[in-house]
Chains A and B, each alone.
Chain A
Amino acid sequence: MKTMPARLLPAPIVVLVLATFAITTVADAADRGGHGGGARAAGGHAGGGGARASGGGPKNVHVNNSRADVRTNNVRSTSVNNVNVNRNVNVDVDRRGGCCGGWDNDYHPVATAAAVTATVAVTSAVIGSIVNAPPPGCVPVNYGGVIYQQCGNTWYQPQGAQYVVIAPPY
C-alpha cells in the first residue's frame, strides 16, 4: 500500500519472534466473512459499494505495515468523532497510548516523541517496529478498548495479522 521510502526494521527483532505464536488467519478470515459485506448500505449510495469498501478489505488479504516510516507513529493529536460525549472531561486520565483518538484510531499507536526517536535499545523491542507475533508468555490486556499483548515493559498492538510495538498505553 505504502509507496513512501521506508526505513527497514532492525532485523534481530523480527527474527526473534518469527517462530512463535502462530496466528490463525484462516479462522480470522472466516469470522470476517461471516459478517458479510456490502449489503448493509441502506441508502442507495452512489460510489459506495457498501460498508466494506473503505475499511476491512477483501477476505484473506491483510495489510502489511512493516514498511511504514517510524515517524508515522509519532502522533500528536487526532480528529474527533462526536460532539456530545466529551473525551476530555477527565483531564487527569492517562491516555498516553490512545490520547485522543476514537474508535477509528487503530492505525498506529500514539507514541511519545522520546520513545519514537529512541533507536535500538538492547533489551526491548523498538517502538513502531512490526512483528508477526509477540513473544510467548505475553499477557493480553484490554485498555481503552484495544486488546494489547504485554510482555513486561514491552507492549504489542495487533494490526491486521501483525503486531506493532508501542509505547506503554498507560
Chain B
Amino acid sequence: MIPKMLALVLVAASFTPTALHAQGSPAAAAQPSANAVDPAAIQALKEMGAHLQTLKRFEVSTRLTGERVLADGQKLQHTATADLDVVRPNRLRAVMRSARSEREILFDGKTVTLFTPAQKYYSTVPFTEDLATLVERLEQRYGVEVPLADLFVWGTPEAPLDRIKSAMNAGQDFVGDDLCDHYAFRQGEVDWQIWITAGARPLPRKLVITNRADDARPQSVSLLDWNLKPTFRDSVFTFTPPPGAKAVEILPLKTK
C-alpha cells in the first residue's frame, strides 16, 4: 500500500513539471523556471483572440497613461483617450483625444481618412483590405498607430504568439467591477501584462506594456471599456469634409 502511494506521488511529481517545462528536468522540481512558457497562458490569449474575432460590431474606449523618457532618464507621464467604433471586417472610426490634440481615423472599407477637427485638415488614402492589415500598413508605411491595434491582430495568424519567451498566469484581479485573469508575458524588448475577463466571454480589460529597450523602462497602461451593443450607424465610418476643410497630402515615412 505505502509503496504504491509513493509511486503515485513520484509519478505526479515528475509529470507536473513536464507540462510547464519543455525539458521536463527532474531537478527543477515543482517550480517552473523563470523563462518557461506556460501553455495555458498562451491558450488564454488564443481564446481571447478567437472571441474578439467573433465580435462583429462593437464600441471600445481606452484611457491610456504613457511615459516619455528625457535625455537624462527622468520620466514624464501623460494621458490620452481613444473611442473606437468597429464593424468587422473593414469599418473603423477612432477618435483620439488628449489635452494637446484631437485626431480621428476613419475607414469605410474603401478609404482611410486622417482628420484633425481643430484645423479641419484631412488626408485620405485608398485601402480595401481588412482591419488587421490596415493597422499593419498604416504603421509600416505612414508611421500612424491605430489605438488598440492589438484588438485587430489577436486571433489572426499575424499575432506573433511564437515570439513569446515567457508566459505565466499571475492570478486574478479586478478591473473595475470585472473579475479578470491576469497574465504576464515577455517578448522581444517588451514585458507585457493583460487582464482578461474571467468566464466564457474573455475580453481584454487592461493592458500594461513595459519597454525594456530603455533602461528607464517606460510603461504604458491602457484601461479598456466595452460596449457590445453599440448604437452607432454605418454612416459614422464615412468621412464627409466639413465646410472649410482642407485636404493635406500624407507623406510615407522617409528612410534615413
Q: Which A residues lie at the B interface, using CB under 8 A?
A: 23, 27-28, 31-32, 35, 40-46, 48, 51-57, 63, 65, 71-72, 74-85, 87, 89-90, 92-95, 98, 101-108, 113, 116, 140-147, 158-161, 170
Contact = CB atoms under 8 A, between A and B. Distances in A.
Interface stretch (B2-10, B14-22, B28-36, B147-155): B147-155
Given A32-B102, A77-B216, A104-B78, 6 more contacts: A51-B83, A72-B76, A81-B147, A104-B98, A142-B248, A145-B145
Given A51-B83, A85-B135, A104-B78, A31 B118 contact: yes
Interface string B36-56: 000000000000000000000
B106 interface: no
Nearest to B210: A79
A162 to B, nearest CB: 9
Q: Is the interface of A mostly helix, strand, loop or mixed?
A: loop
Contacts of B158: 84
A23 B117 CA distance: 12
A93 to B, nearest CB: 5
Contact of B66 (A45, A81, A92): A81
B177 interface: yes
Interface residues of B, number: 88
B59 A76 contact: no
A86 to B, nearest CB: 8
B253 A56 contact: no
B149 A81 contact: yes
Contacts of A44: 176-177
A147 B68 contact: no
A159 B227 contact: no
Interface string B212-256: 011010111011011110000000000000100010111101111
Contacts of B1: none
Interface of B: 59, 61, 63-71, 76, 78-83, 95-103, 114, 116-121, 123, 135-136, 138-140, 142-150, 153-154, 158-160, 176-178, 185, 187, 190, 192, 205, 207, 209-211, 213-214, 216, 218-220, 222-223, 225-228, 242, 246, 248-251, 253-256
B63 A159 contact: no
Given A79-B219, A142-B121, A160 B211 contact: no
B61 A55 contact: no
B59 to A, nearest CB: 7
Nearest to B94: A103
A141 B142 CA distance: 13
Contacts of B154: 84
Given A108-B68, A145-B103, A98 B143 contact: yes
Given A74-B71, A107-B68, A143 B251 contact: yes
